[in-house]
Amino acid sequence: MSLNPRLVKESFSVIEPVAEQATAYFYGRLFAENPHLRGLFPPALDVQRDRLFSALTRIVWSLDSPDSMATYLGQMGRDHRKYGVVAEHYTAVGRALLATVRRFAADVWTAEIEEAWVAAYEAAATLMIDSAEADAGVSPAWWVAEVVGHELRHQDIAVITLRPAQRLPYTSGQYVTVQTARWPRVWRTFSIANAPRQDNTISLHVRSVPGGWVSTTLTRHTRVGDTVMLGPPTGTMTPREQSVRDVLCVAGGTGLAPLKAIVESIIASGRRPAIHLLYGARTAGELYDLPDLIRMESAFPWLRVVPVVSDQPSYDGMRGHLPDVTRRLRSWTEHDVYVCGPSPMVNETVRCLQRDGVPLSRIHRDAVHA
Ligand SMILES: NC(=O)C1=CN([C@@H]2O[C@H](COP(=O)(O)OP(=O)(O)OC[C@H]3O[C@@H](n4cnc5c(N)ncnc54)[C@H](O)[C@@H]3O)[C@@H](O)[C@H]2O)C=CC1
């Protein structure tokens, strides 16, 4: 059976407009046929549903790019170990998925399309299973970590320091998923806000979002001495180590976290590129990490930190929206650029930079927090 990305994509386009119903049907079918699998998922499936569909979308549209599909699915396979997923679960998921696409693309469905989906799923599942098995030989499925520092820097933003019980290998700019005892099986993503440290501790920047179970638990109901669980570090927005270019980082809110890690690792590398770090918040009070960044700036004269405030007319410094301020400041066409923050801000910043002549290949971002 051979992969036929075109047939998979065409039939998937029919399902995309009814994604919500299709995903609900998928889970209904999966749990009706395999009630024991329900226990692997969190009690409320809303976030899970969105994730499933966005993962599926990404896989379908990368079927033509075997390298990016292998990287993505390899990461997912490793990450799924923390849920307790094992090889036989993929058969059950494949059956429910096929039943779902067959039903929601019924108007266009043919035997060839069915064959194409079966081949694509088999290829995807094999990549995930193989990478999970390879990972099981060298790495835990998750890490238990103790909270060793908790600073509420603003009414809803905390900087939390964790000490994993085992070594946690990662690259600056990557993120981890976090599960708290209060919300079993609910994992949320946070970037590691530091370059690797000798003592193996990591810091996270967490803003409690309204209705956010894990973010609220971490900011308001977590104390030094508590334990959390961490999934494996993931993500591709990592520093270009061989580059000799100067660097621009554009950070919106807690999107600062991975960029601070990247800046730290550039400093630790011994290279001395000029680094501009534009750090935006809505109000001056939300520039929760500014004192630390100013300390870094005074220790490393080639680092320039530019705080930017968007929604406080009385602010006595640089005011405006990050995408506008970025382009107003100077031309960045020769820089390596890293952008992180709320997705509309990231998208707009990338659009502006591209329009001003910065090649997309030099603009680095991570889609995970979008
Ligand atoms: N906590 C973490 O580890 C990480 C968080 N993120 C993401 O970063 C974001 C941070 O959110 P908050 O701190 O609540 O940010 P926020 O909503 O307070 O905004 C931060 C900055 O982004 C600008 N901004 C917001 N919306 C904009 C838009 N539509 N156009 C132009 N500029 C805009 C604001 O003016 C401000 O300068 C979240 O979406 C989160 O998912 C990303 C990576 C890591």
**For position 353, which CATH number holds?**
3.40.50.80
Contact 93, 80 (CB under 8 A): no
16 plus 128 within the same structural domain? yes
Distance 40 CA to ligand 1 centre (A): 31
Distance 223 CA to ligand 1 centre (A): 25
Contact 159, 204 (CB under 8 A): yes
The Cα 225–Cα 27 span in angstroms is 37
**Chain centroid, CA 326 distance in Å:** 23
What pLDDT is stored for residue 311 in this prediction? 98
Task: Please state which of the ranges 37-41, 198-202, 278-282 shows the lowest mean pLDDT.
Answer: 37-41
State the residue for tokens 């981890």.
Answer: 176
Dihedral angle computed from the Cα positions of residues 256, 261, 265 and 271, in that order, rounded to the nearest 10 degrees: 0
What pLDDT is stored for residue 310 in this prediction? 98
Distance 365 CA to ligand 1 centre (A): 13
199 plus 284 within the same structural domain? no
130 plus 147 within the same structural domain? no
What pLDDT is stored for residue 368 in this prediction? 64
The Cα 79–Cα 244 span in angstroms is 33
Distance 119 CA to ligand 1 centre (A): 39
Distance 66 CA to ligand 1 centre (A): 32
17 plus 93 within the same structural domain? yes
Atom of ligand 1 nearest to the CA of 190: 3
What pLDDT is stored for residue 53 in this prediction? 87
- What is the CATH classification number for the domain harbouring 147? 2.40.30.10
Q: What is the DSSP letter of 169?
A: -
pTM above 0.95, yes or no: no
Q: Residue 370: inside a domain, yes or no?
A: no
Show the ligand 1 pocket: residues with CB < 6 angstroms: 190-191, 205-207, 252-255, 257-258, 280-282, 286, 310, 321-323, 340-342, 344-345, 348, 369
What's the domain range around 24? 5-136
Asked whether the predicted pLDDT for residue 90 surpasses 60, the reply is: yes
Chosen domain end from 136, 162, 190: 136
What pLDDT is stored for residue 370 in this prediction? 40
Contacts of 50 (CB under 8 A, 6+ apart): none
114 plus 154 within the same structural domain? no
Considering only CA atoms, which residue is closest to atom 39 of ligand 1?
342
Atom of ligand 1 nearest to the CA of 189: 3
Atom of ligand 1 nearest to the CA of 204: 3
Asked whether the predicted pLDDT for residue 61 surpasses 80, the reply is: yes
